[in-house]
Amino acid sequence: MARFEQTVHFLGSERLCPTTATFSFTRPEGYTFRAGEFFTLTIPTREGQQSHTFSHADVPGDDAIMILTRLTGSAFKDALVAMTPGAEVRVAGPAGALALGPEVQRAAFLVGGVGVSPARSIVRDVALTGRDVDICLFDGNPDESCIPFRAEFARYAAERDTIRVVHVLASPPAEWDGESGFITAELVRRHCDPFDDRHWYVCGPPLMVEAMRRVIDELGVPADHRHFELFAGYR
């Protein structure tokens, strides 16, 4: 797919919790991508022009480009927060290899925090297009105060019995009836068979990806059914 670069405009943002928000931009005419891919966003900051890569949280059928990101207080993130609708930015892309190939009929995602972005793109695309893919999504978060896209995932799971979403909280409230702790091989096996020709996708900060790599090792997933993508710039 040819690389595309063009100026677009900021549309708005939504704060999902104190440290996490979505930001939306106009989609340039002629820009195409596959659900799960990423792109580069270039904006003016207090330290000059800066570029960061972001996974598409949107899908090819959406009208706008969306990203989900943590608000870290960096020059780039502060510039995003201060941006007003209509501001011009540059997008370049797409890139990445996390998209579902045509041969994939079963998929599982081991994600957490903003690493849910490409999973949201893929799950949303499957739900909206009606593609016949069986999906298990394991989404780890610190607590119940911020579970990005929780209501949307619940709707997809209610509408299609081939989409299962398992939220895992490190510090759940007393009334939490879901999974707690961390995503482990034992937890995964309670919800998903690792030996049903399923493709496994991991995306997130390096430490999280490395932890999930060990889970996939323990599950015995074949090498050609493993897909990893690291989010740079996060501790």
DSSP result, 59-127: -TTSSEEEEEEE----HHHHHHHH--TT-EEEEEEEE-S-SPPTT-SEEEEEEEGGGGHHHHHHHHHHH
Is-contact 36 56, C-beta < 8 A? yes
When the pLDDT of each residue in the chain is averaged and rounded to a whole number, the result is 94
Query: At residue 181, does pLDDT exceed 90?
Result: yes
Band of residue 75 on the pLDDT scale cut at 50, 70, 90: very high
Q: CA nearest 191: which of 172, 211, 168? A: 168
pLDDT single digits (tens) 115-134 = 999 999 999 999 999 999 99
Domains annotated on the chain, with CATH:
4-95 (2.40.30.10), 106-230 (3.40.50.80)
Burial profile 112-130: b = 16 or more Cβ within 10 angstroms, e = fewer: bbbbbbbbbbbbbbbbeee
Nearest-CA neighbor of 107 among 141, 129, 151, 138?
A: 138
Q: What CA–CA distance (Å, rounded) separates 199 from 141?
A: 22
The pLDDT value recorded for residue 233 is 54
pLDDT of 2 reads: 52
Q: 1 pLDDT exceeds 70?
A: no
Report the pLDDT value the prediction gives residue 129, as an integer from 0 to 100.
95
Helix (H) / strand (E) element for 5: namely: strand 4-17
Decide if pLDDT at 140 tops 70. yes
152 pLDDT exceeds 50? yes
For 188, list phi and psi in degrees, rounded to 5: -60, -45
Residue 232 pLDDT level (bands cut at 50, 70, 90): low
Residues counted in the chain: 235
Whole-prediction pTM value?
Answer: 0.94
Is pLDDT above 80 for 214?
A: yes
Give, in order, the Cα–Cα distances in Å from 179 to each of 140, 142, 224. Answer: 9, 12, 29
Quick one: pLDDT band at residue 29, thresholds 50, 70, 90? confident
Read off the pLDDT of each residue in 67-86 and give the average, rounded to a whole number.
97
pLDDT band at 188 (very low <50, low <70, confident <90, very high): very high
The residues that bridge with 8 in the sheet, in sequence order, are 89
